[in-house]
Amino acid sequence: MRTHKLHELAKTIRSKNAGVNKITFDIIFRDRENYERVKRSKALSRESVAALYRIEPQRISDFVEYDPGYAIKFTIYRLRPSGCAGDGDIFGAQQYAPLLDLEVAA
Amino acid sequence: MQTLKIICPNGHLGFAPLRPESFWLGVDAKPDYVAADSGSDDVGPVPLGSDTSTSPQSWQRHDLEQMLLASRKLGVPMIIGSAGDTGSNSRVDLFVKIISELAQKHGMAKFRLGYFYSEVDKEYLRAKIRSGDPVTGLDGFADLTEAELDATERVVAMAGVHPFVELLRQGADVIIGGRSSDAAVFAAPAIHHGFPADNAYYLGKVLECASFCAEPYGGKETVLGEVSHEDVKVTAMYPPQRCTVASVAGHAMYERSNPYEEFFAGGKLDMTHCRYEQFDERTTRITGSRFIADKKTRVKLEGSGKVGERYVGICGIRDPYTIANVDQVIDWAKAKVRERFGDTGYELHYNVYGRDGVMGELEPLRDKPGHELCLMVQGVAPTCEMAEELTMIGLRQMFYARLPDVKGTAGSVSFPLDEVLHASAAYRWTLNHTVAVDDNMELFKTHMVDIGN
């Protein structure tokens, strides 16, 4: 089976604050086909993203397959709320990069 | 009224200027309202705590001027929520003053300016805690204690539609709101004109970030929303953009953990059964959203507390051996800070750019640093003098770090500046909570004044 990098299959891969204590990640596909393909592959799951970001699965507050938007999204708790001194990403906007090269067997 | 049309030119007024071309195309479409939200907790706790705006006043004034000119030209109301990034009282006063100056500058005929405040007296919350009516934490925050309240500089409540609807009922031509739900500035006029809450709140939801609901990606362009008793339609005004099923459905999940619901003071918008259809090339039609009213209103609160004064220092590293041992370099400097100031009573932070400065502990590649690093040091302390010295030790002592096998013995780091920089004071979010209210208006005091000649 061929593998693809997630960025080859997704139209948008982004992260952003969801409130002051969470960061939410959206992986959005251009069409149903690619969306279903990635869904079926199980490359994105609570467990896989916890492993990728090296966090406990409990830090993932939500993991949603959002059919109307051909999107998979998950949300993690921050260790400290946004904008505390030392926070390198107040908007949470640059946390998605490790997803780009995620291998998808599909 | 069969339908109501609202244009939104900016998802966060002031943060970057609106784009005039699509805005004036939106004005040409003869909307019934011109509206935008001007706030966000994305900007972190500093503006709320220090009672400042993160947006430059010239950009705030630019957008307010364009919107006011359009509103007066069309003879339709203009609504702004969350004035000046935080929606604190001083930001409402600032926007009221700017509107009044703009009216004078353009010699505008008399109009009615309504405004409301959102700041919450800390003693009101203390009384709630003492009476056993908990101020409940959201998203991992513990319920509010008096100690945490004491550590808080300023609290704002997130208004729903209620103060906007009240000011529209009183005949306001322009409304400047304190902290508000983004969607409320659009939902309120729809509700005021008798459209169902199911559609009114969805209208607000889809318009709140302006062109973020359109594609191709591009912010600060105007979008037009139209609500009827049956549906909501949203159209991109910037010619290269379109509101597609994918872009509109995709927007529902932006900035929130659950794409199917959103909470407001007074209820929640349920988008589980939304249906999206391409209505025309640039317009998507949405049906099936539902608003579920709460029996008892809980209002969201945001609060910020001061941690201390802050200085920042910057340096770089190029020696590969020093890069591989950068944690030892940092530990050396931290030890020197401890020798001077002890273990507590301050904060000292290092962001190591080129390794994990952006992602910190989430960075999977933190064991593969780049060929050069930039280190940002932040020192936070009760006084400016201490913060400056703390940061200077934390920065300069890296220069003297003693690594056993280093070849370069004339300095372990490079300095782009031989100084530390005074930064904004450090604050932290202390409140991310909700409080129960008996009356939807009790936290939002409204005012009305006449402006112009």
- So what's the pLDDT on residue A2? 82
Look at A84 and B256 and tell me if their CB atoms are within 8 Å. Answer: no
- CB count in 10 Å sphere of residue B194: 10
Q: Which of B258, B310, B357 sits opposite A62 (nearest CB)?
A: B258
Long-range contacts from B294-298, C-beta under 8 angstroms, 24+ separation: B294/B266, B294/B267, B294/B268, B296/B436, B297/B160, B297/B265, B297/B266, B297/B436, B297/B437, B297/B440, B298/B136, B298/B265, B298/B434, B298/B435, B298/B436, B298/B437
Query: Between the CA of residue B390 and those of B91, B332, B339, what are the distances in Å?
Result: 33, 14, 11
The span from the CA of A45 to the CA of A40, in Å, is 11
Distance from CA of B347 to the nearest CA of A (A): 8
Q: Could you state, in chain order, the average pLDDT of each consecutive group of 10 residues for chain B (453 residues)? A: 96 95 98 97 96 97 98 98 98 98 97 98 98 96 98 98 98 98 97 98 96 92 98 97 93 89 96 96 97 97 98 98 97 98 98 98 96 98 98 97 92 96 98 97 97 87
Which segments of B40-168 are extended strands (E)? 78-85, 111-116, 136-137, 154-157
Which of B41, B42, B348, B374 is the mutation pick for testing A, counting most A CBs within 10 A? B42
Distance from CA of B166 to the nearest CA of A (A): 28
Residues with Cβ within 8 Å of residue B86, at least 6 apart in sequence: B39, B43, B47, B48, B51, B53, B156, B179
**Can you read off the two tokens belonging to residue B377?**
């040091």
B241, B215 Cβ separation under 8 angstroms: yes
Q: pLDDT tens digit string along A80-93?
A: 999 999 999 999 99
**Can you read off the two tokens belonging to residue B17?**
């200027």
- So what's the pLDDT on residue B162? 98
- Among chain B residues, the shortest Cα distance to A92 is held by B42
Q: Is the pLDDT of residue A1 over 80?
A: no
Distance from CA of B242 to the nearest CA of A (A): 15
Q: Which of B140, B249, B253 sits opposite A77 (nearest CB)?
A: B140
- So what's the pLDDT on residue B453? 82
- Among chain A residues, the shortest Cα distance to B432 is held by A20
Q: What is the pTM of this model?
A: 0.95
Residues with Cβ within 8 Å of residue B414, at least 6 apart in sequence: B315, B316, B317, B318
- So what's the pLDDT on residue B252? 84
ipTM for this prediction:
0.95
B27, B74 Cβ separation under 8 angstroms: yes
**HSE (CB half, 13 Å, CA atoms) of A100?**
8
Q: Quick one: which H or E segment has residue B304?
A: strand B298-317
- So what's the pLDDT on residue B194? 98
Look at A19 and B141 and tell me if their CB atoms are within 8 Å. Answer: no
Q: Which residues of B touch A61 (CB under 8 A)?
A: 139, 257
Q: Which residues of A touch B428 (CB under 8 A)?
A: 80-81, 83-85
Look at B427 and A64 and tell me if their CB atoms are within 8 Å. Answer: no
The span from the CA of B189 to the CA of B227, in Å, is 10
